[in-house]
Amino acid sequence: MRGFTSWLETHTHPVTLFVIGDLFLSNKFELWFSELLEKFGSRITVGCHGWSHKSWSAWPEDREGFATELAKATGMITSYAKDSFRPWFRAPGGYIAPWMAAVLAEQGYVLDTSINPSWLVKKKAGKGNSWQDVATALNQSSIVSRPWKTHWGLPINGPALSLFPLSLIAKRGWRNLPLPLTEATLDSALISPDANITTLYWHLLDHARNNGKWMPPLKFQKGNIA
């Protein structure tokens, strides 16, 4: 958490933080989160990463269970994030199945950034499903999908940043990135289905690497990034 805060101090770009609801059961996280929003204000946009880190699509379909935990997470996160919260979702572990789209829509979510469109992790779409099946279900539920950037059809986000040999491919994939969106354009660009957006992510825990000095390998050129 200290490393992430230090990194934010090195630039002025907006960042979206997808938060797990039950983290607020920790007083230490609650205090850090409150201080983060107070210090960086509108630069921080907050989305939902579920109540716990359950990989829903790895289990049998459970719309009722997912709906219950999503509602609980949304309530908890919004109570702390307030105006910084957006109805944007990232599935824990990237595990999202087509049946989850309707539940997200029912609870007011308008954007999902869970799809990692790589053959290497296609099982995360659920047994018998493809990433295209998930994308179609999201579209039918009027939810904008922002898939993660890949390179050569392989993952380059999250764990791929540090897992050899994917880390080598990730390093190449993160080159020549478009410029970040601004605070003024973030919301409208992300929820516009026609906007060309490059989506990248890493874990908060990554900032503990290199004695808290790790930074995401962001190198920008012209364009848009979220």
pLDDT value of position 223: 56
Structural domains in the chain (count): 1
Q: Is the pLDDT of residue 41 over 80?
A: yes
Mean residue pLDDT across the chain: 94
DSSP per residue over 41-54, as a string? GGGEEEEE--SS--
Amino acid at 194: D
Amino acid at 74: T
pLDDT value of position 222: 58
Domain carrying residue 205: 2-225
pLDDT value of position 219: 80
Distance CA 149, CA 37 (A): 27
Residue carrying structure tokens 């080159």? 175
CATH no. for residue 196? 3.20.20.370
Distance CA 97, CA 130 (A): 9
Digit-coded pLDDT (tens) for 170-204: 999 999 899 889 999 999 999 999 999 999 999 99
pTM given for the model = 0.94
pLDDT value of position 224: 58
